[in-house]
Structure 1
Amino acid sequence: MAIDVSFREAWVGLADCRHCASRELSLFAGLCDDELEHTRCPVHQYRFKHGSVIYRAAEKGHDIFTLRTGLLKLERFLPDGNQRIVRLVRPNDIFGIETLVNPVYEHDAVVLRDADICKIPVETVQRLGQVNPKLHQEIMNRWQSALSEADNWLTELLSGTAKQRVARLLLKLIDHQGKCSLLSREDMGAMLSVTTETASRIVAEFKRQGLLSEVGHNLYTCDEDGLLEITDA
C-alpha cells in the first residue's frame, strides 16, 4: 500500500556530491571538482521506506530526483481505475525530469525497495544547464535514456507470452551480484498487463524449474541463461 511521507520526515542531510560513490554516474558526472564547487547546488538527500510516495501525478513539480539506492516504480491510473506501471527507476536513474518543461509530474513515484534519493531543484538545474554545456548535454542524455526506457518497456515487457514477459522482467531486476528481489504479484501484473494469478503461477513454476533459487528473505539467484532461453523462444 502506498504511503504519503513528507520530505521533512525522510530528510537525511545535504548531499556531498563531490565525494558521492555514484559521482561518475550522476547528473554532475561531467563536471570537475572546481565546476561542481561553483554550482552552489542545494542537493538534499532523503531515505524512504518501501511503499512511500515521492510524488503524485498532477502535483506541481519543483524538483527532479536521482535514485542512489533502491527501486521505484512510476505508475499512473487509467480512467477505469486500473493501475499501469510505465517504468522502473533503478540506481543512478533520474526521475521527475519532465518538470523541466512541464509544470506537473506525469506519474506517481512509489518506492518498491527502501531507497536513498537526492532531490535537485528544477530552477537550479535549468540555471546550470544554461551556463554549463556539459551539464546541459548530460540532462539531454538522461532525458533520452528515460524515453528509451519507456519505449523498451512497451516492446519488451508488454509483448510475447506471459511467461516471456515475466522472464524479461526478472532479467531487468537482477542486480550486479546476480540476485533479484521479487515484486508483489499485483505490481508484476500491473507491469506486464497479466492477471495477478498468472504472475503468481509463473513465478511458482520458475521456482520449481530452478530458474529462481531463494537465498534470503525475498532474495533470489536467477538462472540467467535459462531465463534468456524463455525470452528467445
Structure 2
Amino acid sequence: MAREQRLARVFVEIADSLIDDFDVLDLLQRLSTRCVELLDVSAAGILLADAQGELQVIAASDEHTRLLELFARQHDQGPCVECFRVGAARTNIDLGRPEAAAAWPRFTPRARETGFVTTHAIPLRLRDRVVGALNLFQTSVHRLDEDEIALAQALADVATIAILQQRTLERSHVENTQLNHALASRILVEQVKGVLAERWDTSVDEAFVAFRSYARSQHLRLTDLARRIVDGTFDTSVIPAPETHV
C-alpha cells in the first residue's frame, strides 16, 4: 500500500476513535505503532506529564522502547525530556557523536546498548501548551527530512488533541483529569502485562498483544478489562494465550 494511502487510513482510524467515550490508552498505543510504520523508524514512545509535571511513559511500540523511556525519565535527561521542557523538536540526533554523550551521559550509552543510533523528540503541544513528547528511535543512520518531521509533528498534534479532547479544552482541570486517568490506566495495564506474561511464560510484548486483541474483540476498554483482572473478578483463562514459537 502506498504511503499516502496508509497515512489516510491512519487519520481516518484516529478520527473514528474520537468519540465521547474513546479509549485514549489504546489510541496512543496504536499511534506509536503507526509512527513506526509511516516514518520508517525502529521504535516510538509517547510520554505525558503528570500533575506534578513529571514525564511518564504512556505508550510504546515495543517493550525495549518502554524501558528506555523509563530510563530517560528516571535520570531526568535525554532528548525527550529536553524537548518537553523547551517545547521544541529535537531531530536527527546522532547518538554516536561525542556531543550526545556529553549532553546526556546516562541516556546515550543506554540507548546505544539497546541498538539505537539515531533519535528524535517531537513535542505534544496544543498552542503554547506542552503536555508531553513523542520519541522516535532508529537502529540505522537515516536522517528524517522536513516532510517526515512535519508528519511526525502532525501525528504528535493529533495525539495531543485526543488526550485533551473535551468540550472545553482550555479548562486546566479537564486536562489534568484526562492525563491522570491515562497514566493510572497505564499502570493497571502494566500490572496485567506482567501477570499474563508470567502465567503464559511469554514476553510482555506477546502478553500485551493477546490482552489487547481480546479486549478489542469483546469491545472492552483496556482499562476496564485490566481492572477486572487485577481485582480478580475476571477469568483470564478465556483469553487465548499467545502462540509459542519453537
TM-score higher than 0.5:
no
Whose strand fraction is larger, Structure 1's or Structure 2's? 1
TM-score by length of structure 2 reads 0.30
Larger radius of gyration: 1
Greater helix fraction, Structure 1 or Structure 2:
2
TM-score (norm 1): 0.31
